Amino acid sequence: MAEQGIPVKEFAPEEGSFGWVDNWQVIKGTPNLDCIYAWLNFALSSDAQCGMVKVTGYAGVNPAALRGCLTEEEFKSRHQDDEAFLQRLSIYQKPPRIDVYINTWNAVKASPN
């Protein structure tokens, strides 16, 4: 919107903001461990980090990799070097009663329809 001349500004409320972190997990005993490590190494690389950040506008997990592809303004706008901003975020936590969610989801998946 700012690029279209619309005056917008990002801010974090004093009360804090919500945040989330996507992640990859390696399952114990996986038969394709070499493939998984190749993917993880790629996902952390400059090419992958820069591509993801440029396409989504989200922050990356590897600030060092992003220094080569983001302008200083882009780097700062994604809070890549702002530890205080990250500390103010309420990161998603496992909900209470997770067993209820799991049982409900399993019932939906088991439904014949």
Q: How far apart are CA 45 and CA 40, in angstroms?
A: 9
Please check whether residue 92 lies inside any domain of the structure.
Answer: yes
Please check whether residue 1 lies inside any domain of the structure.
Answer: no
Please check whether residue 3 lies inside any domain of the structure.
Answer: no
Please check whether residue 4 lies inside any domain of the structure.
Answer: no
> What is the count of structural domains for the chain?
1
Domain membership of residue 47 as a residue range: 31-110
With 0-12 / 13-18 / 19 or more C-beta atoms within 10 angstroms meaning exposed / middle / buried, residue 36 is: middle
Please check whether residue 89 lies inside any domain of the structure.
Answer: yes
Which residue carries 């070097």 as its tokens? 81
Please check whether residue 36 lies inside any domain of the structure.
Answer: yes
Full-model pTM: 0.64
| Number of residues written out for the chain | 113
Question: Which tokens in the block code for residue 107?
Answer: 């019932």
Please check whether residue 77 lies inside any domain of the structure.
Answer: yes
pLDDT tens for the 113 residues of the chain, in order: 888 999 998 787 888 788 888 888 898 999 999 999 999 999 999 999 999 999 998 889 899 999 989 999 999 988 898 888 888 888 887 778 999 989 999 999 998 87
Please check whether residue 14 lies inside any domain of the structure.
Answer: no
